[in-house]
Structure formats: C-alpha cells, structure tokens
Amino acid sequence: MSQDKEPVKKMPSSLRSLDEYLRKDLSKDQIEEAKQKGEITTKNSIYTLPLKFFHIEDGYNIRKLNEEHVENLVLAIAKGHPLPPVRVQIINVDGEPKARIKDGQHRVAAAIRAVERGLCQVPGLAAMEFVGNEADAVLHMLQSSEGLALTQLERAGGYKRLQGQGWKPAQIAEGANKSVQHVDRLLVLANAEENVKKMVFEKVVPADVAIDTIISCRGTERDAYEELQKGLEVAQSLNKRKVTKAHMQQAGAAKPSMSKKDIRSTVKSMSRVAVSIEEIIKQADPEQLDAVVTVDFTVEEAMAFHQFLNRGAAL
C-alpha cells in the first residue's frame, strides 16, 4: 500500500513572500510579540516617488551640490545601480504637494540629469518620510554625508542653524558627537564676515587658519580679512595656492592675543574660584603633587572659564 506523500512546502522567493510566510497563521498579538523577538520581518514606509514631486530648496541643505559627485551618480543611475531612499518631508509649495529633501539632494539632482540627457527612464526614486523637527533635520544632515565628508564651512553652517534654534554649544557638541571646543571654533567661522568665508569656500584659506586669525583680531583694530589677504600674498609669491600658518607669520600677522578687557572680565567672574583654589594649595601636601583635588564651579563660572580656555587655545 502506497503512503500519501506530504506536499512540498513552497519556500518564499522574495521579501514580500517571506513576510507573508512568516506571518501566516499568526494572530495580531502574536505578530507584535514576534516583532519584539526579531522573529519576523518589519516593513519600512518606502515609496517610489516620481521625480516631479521632489523639491530642491536653495539654501536649505547645509551642503552645496558637489558637481563631481552628482556626475558619478548620473552614471550609476544610468547603469541601473540601486540607491538608498531619499528622506523627505511633504510640504505645500504654491498650492501643490512637494517633497522637501532632508537627505539625498545629490541623488535627486543626478536622477533628473540622467532623464534630461536621455540616458535612462527613471519612474521615481525610493523615498522615506523624515520623522523629526528642524533641529533633528540639521543633525541628520551633519551625520549623513551622502558618501562625501562635510567641509568645515558646511558643518559650521549647520551648527549656526542649530544655535539659531536656541541650542547651546554643549548641546550641539553632544548631538553632533564632537567636542565643545570644536563647536565653539566652527561657530566663530559661521559668524565670520562673508569675504572671509568666501576665502575658505574657495579653499585658498583653511578653516583653522581663518578661525585663528579671526580670534587674534578680536579686541584689536586689525581686520581678519585684511590679515588673511596679507598671508595670501605671501603664499602666492611662493607659488602656493593655499595660505598656511607659516605664510601668516611671514606676512607679519600678529599672534593671537586676548584683550585686557577679556582677561579682566574672566578674572573678575572667577574670583570666588581663585580663593577656593588658593585654600586648596595651602592645605595640599607638597610631596603629593599628583593628588587629585576638587574645585566647585557654578554654571556661570564654568562657562566663563571654558570660554577663557577656548580663546587661550588659539594662542
């Protein structure tokens, strides 16, 4: 007598069929439990959005379009290479729904060019809804580089935008996973005169040289742009395109200094702490100079001391 063979179970061959396979015969509560245990697939809200709905807003993204990177993506799209989803926020533009790009402007620009040049037909790009507020969007821009590192000037612009939303340097540093000193210095660049930022943008002056020069000119009659121009003249006389700290020194640019007003202000705000430190020194054992001591600061005193140290770091 022949025995009936069990039917061969059809195995899933796609993500969609795998999702259906894993969810089969599970109740709603069981599905939620399986999600928590990592036993079934979960769906992301990814849509194929037609190119006409993407909205490239001038000045919104902290990164400017990198033409070389866009052209490389044009070739990738023409060859059918998959791209990560573009993160967007749906907004109203002149009475029409549009997708403001939070992350992926290079991908969108490249897709538009590929279609305009007749290299391929692109029905749309994968898109995901961006969840968060404007500060979250800026942090996302800072952390998502689309395969390109942000320039110091672009990062400075992002920090300034966060500062404009009421964020303190310490908050920005924590959100961007950077030091407070790094944030403070780039905020100096972000608030610089446009002619100075133009020199940094054109890569004739490194960001650090510009920042040091701005700090050195504070409290003096010297102008940071004029000082940098002197350094550039020295660099050009040596057939160099970019200004270095050595060029600035050769140009006779004054060394960074702190004004007497800054020093007096800091010393005055730290007078209580100075007395506390003096008492610690009196009671300390001179034979144990590596012993750890504790000094109490108020928030205001800590902020004043921190600013003092940051300015002194450029000396």
Q: Using pLDDT thresholds of 50, 70 and 90, give the confidence band for residue 73.
A: very high
DSSP, residue by residue, 81-98: ---PPEEEEEEEETTEEE
Same domain, 128 and 57: yes
| pLDDT above 70 (res 262) | no
Of 32-41, 212-221, 229-238, the range with the lowest mean pLDDT is 32-41
Determine, yes or no, domain membership for 167: yes
Q: How many structural domains is the chain composed of?
A: 3
Average confidence (pLDDT) over 131-148? 70
| pLDDT above 90 (res 141) | no
Note whether 222 and 257 are within 8 A (CB).
no
Q: Using pLDDT thresholds of 50, 70 and 90, give the confidence band for residue 314.
A: very low
Same domain, 238 and 177: yes
Same domain, 237 and 188: yes
Determine, yes or no, domain membership for 34: no
Same domain, 157 and 246: yes
Average confidence (pLDDT) over 115-135? 85
The C-alpha atoms of residue 143 and residue 137 are separated, in whole angstroms, by: 10
- Of these ranges, 15-19, 254-258, 273-277, the one predicted with the greatest mean pLDDT is 273-277
| pLDDT above 70 (res 183) | yes
Q: For residue 245, what pLDDT is reported?
A: 87
Average confidence (pLDDT) over 254-258? 56
The C-alpha atoms of residue 127 and residue 112 are separated, in whole angstroms, by: 15
pTM score > 0.75 for this model?
no
Q: For residue 15, what pLDDT is reported?
A: 66
Which of 125, 25, 119, 24 is closest to 78 using CA atoms?
119
Same domain, 116 and 160: no
Range of the domain at 182: 152-250
Strands 96-103 and 54-55, by their bridges, are parallel
Q: For residue 147, what pLDDT is reported?
A: 58
Note whether 125 and 155 are within 8 A (CB).
no
| pLDDT above 90 (res 111) | yes
Instruction: Return the higher-pLDDT residue of 202 and 297.
Output: 202
Helix-helix angle 152-164:194-201, to 10 degrees? 140
Average confidence (pLDDT) over 166-179? 87
Q: Using pLDDT thresholds of 50, 70 and 90, give the confidence band for residue 128.
A: confident
Of 12-16, 30-34, 56-60, the range with the lowest mean pLDDT is 12-16
| pLDDT above 80 (res 106) | yes
Q: Using pLDDT thresholds of 50, 70 and 90, give the confidence band for residue 210.
A: very high
Average confidence (pLDDT) over 157-180? 87
Q: Using pLDDT thresholds of 50, 70 and 90, give the confidence band for residue 145.
A: low
Determine, yes or no, domain membership for 30: no
Q: Which two tokens stand for residue 233?
A: 């003249």
Domain closes at, from 198, 231, 250: 250
Q: For residue 260, what pLDDT is reported?
A: 63
| pLDDT above 90 (res 104) | no
At 24 the three-state DSSP class reads coil
Same domain, 156 and 244: yes
| pLDDT above 90 (res 71) | yes
Same domain, 58 and 95: yes
Same domain, 208 and 119: no
Note whether 139 and 178 are within 8 A (CB).
no
Average confidence (pLDDT) over 75-90? 88
Same domain, 244 and 265: no
Determine, yes or no, domain membership for 245: yes
The C-alpha atoms of residue 81 and residue 21 are separated, in whole angstroms, by: 29
Residue 80: strand pairing partners: none
Determine, yes or no, domain membership for 185: yes
Q: What is the CATH number of the domain that holds 56?
A: 3.90.1530.10
Same domain, 55 and 120: yes
Which of 245, 246, 210 is closest to 225 using CA atoms?
210
Same domain, 61 and 129: yes
Percentage of the chain lying above the pLDDT 70 cut:
86
Same domain, 113 and 169: no
